[in-house]
Amino acid sequence: MTQHCIFCSIMPPYLLKKYAESSDPQVRDRALATIEATERARAIRAALSQTLNLARVGPGVARTKVRRIFDCQGTSDLSRQLVMQENDQPPADVAVREAYDFAGITWDFYNTVFGRNSINDGGMTIVSSVHYSENGQGFDNALWNGQQMIYGDGGEQFGRMTQCLDVVGHELTHGITQFSAGLPYHNQSGALNESMSDVFGVVIRQWHDNQTDPATANWLVGDKLLLNGGALRSMKAPGTANPDDPQPAHMKDYVNLPDNPFGDSGGVHYNSGIPNHAFYLAATAIGKPSWQTAAKIWYITLTQRLKGETDFAKCANETISVARDFFDDATAKKVSQAWIDVGVITQAVGPVASLGMKAIKPSESGKKAAKGTAVAKKAALASTHKRKPAKMSVARH
């Protein structure tokens, strides 16, 4: 079984499973249809790779946004009708407009804040297919299939799948992870894959809505996507987004599940609550707009520091290291504390071991308590050999 995130849907399996066990036949049938259609969409991926021109383009390509929206017209034919291209007049169909607009905002965010040229950083056309369904049964899901976006219409337990900017941003970020760190889609690396999508999906919406204060910003994923008013997840308070939200916020509540589809590939939609909450804590502690500092730390980590199998501790220490290299020790300590507060690390280790010691280094604290001790010497050594930041690849625009 491949573990690369080539197929990531917004709907957590535990929600669809719950509805599939409903005593209401309408709710049950719709959930089963969505589960089955989601599974079948996996098979479509192979055919897509031969029909859509989504190859990575050369570095000389113009930094131009290119979007294409197809209308499946209630079928599983992803390219049934091309209904909107770049700069077309917006049609009356709200799902088409949202898929187009939110893909554009996501492209703008990554380009403006990080200097990224589309999903693959190579000018990739963003293709979206809306009104996906099989046999008229409806489809309560939105997904990135490794090459393009697919949206159902919702309507039974969930709203229109194109309606939330953070959901669109979440799914397209799966593509960015696919083209950068990889993060195999199981266990902790899969939960990090999910978390990165939640982080950037929410930050994109905060950026678009100009929610500059992390303390008062909206940290919900899929806010009001559930027709009962609930959200899919909460980064501020994992486990509270809806009555069936099982997400932990701390390692002491880490959910051990089998690494198979029945176990959510090792709980990738469960345990993502832990790194999600770490990002929330870091962003609020830093206090600046989430996209200005915290998201840059996470983006550099995702695109430059992580590759393949990654556990929470590795991600934690790389974000701390990036915070120190690209910002300052005070920022790094806030990031470190966030990961400590969710139980992923007990203290900063590895490349940031000097952080704790620097606090008692005489030259910085003015105190003499540590002078001459091994700790002070190690701190001084670490300070002397502090890594020079790599070339800053973000904030070019």
340, burial (CB in 10 Å: exposed 0-12, middle 13-18, buried 19+):
middle
Rounded CA separation 317/336 (Å): 8
Q: Is 217 in the site for Zn ion (CB under 5 A)?
A: no
Residues 177-206, interacting with Zn ion (CB under 5 A): 194, 197
H-type helices in the chain, by residue range?
A: 13-20, 25-51, 94-114, 165-178, 187-208, 264-271, 273-286, 294-300, 312-326, 329-341, 354-358, 362-365, 374-384
Name beta bridge partners: 127: 68
Pick 190 or 248: Cβ nearer Zn ion = 190
CB of 270 to Zn ion, least distance (A): 12
The DSSP call for residue 93 is -
Pick 134 or 171: Cβ nearer Zn ion = 171
The interface region with Zn ion, picked from 1-9, 96-104, 288-296, 382-390 by CB under 5 A, is 1-9
Pick 128 or 197: Cβ nearer Zn ion = 197
**Is 269 designated active site?**
yes
Size of the site for Zn ion (CB under 5 A): 3
Catalytic residue among 98, 171, 194, 318: 171
**Is 4 designated active site?**
no
Q: Nearest-CA neighbor of 170 among 207, 196, 209? A: 196
Torsion on CA atoms 324, 330, 332, 334, rounded to nearest 10: -170
Pick 12 or 123: Cβ nearer Zn ion = 12
281, burial (CB in 10 Å: exposed 0-12, middle 13-18, buried 19+):
buried
Pick 145 or 197: Cβ nearer Zn ion = 197
The interface region with Zn ion, picked from 4-12, 44-52, 73-81, 360-368 by CB under 5 A, is 4-12
Pick 148 or 197: Cβ nearer Zn ion = 197
| Closest residue to Zn ion in the complex (CB) | 8
Rounded CA separation 158/125 (Å): 28
CB of 223 to Zn ion, least distance (A): 16
- Residues 340-359: x where in contact with Zn ion by CB under 5 A, - otherwise, as a string: --------------------
Rounded CA separation 172/175 (Å): 5
CA angle 141, 275, 210 (to 5 degrees): 70
Residue selected from 3, 8, 152, 355 as contacting Zn ion according to rule CB under 5 A: 8
97's CB contacts (< 8 A; 6+ apart) are 84, 90, 91
CB of 197 to Zn ion, least distance (A): 5
CB of 11 to Zn ion, least distance (A): 9
State the amino acid at position 85 in one-letter form. Q
- For residue 150, the surrounding DSSP H or E stretch is strand 149-151
First to last CA, the chain: 40
Catalytic residue among 131, 170, 269, 277: 269
CB of 31 to Zn ion, least distance (A): 18
CB of 198 to Zn ion, least distance (A): 8
Binding site for Zn ion (CB under 5 A): 8, 194, 197
Residues carrying an active site annotation: 171, 269
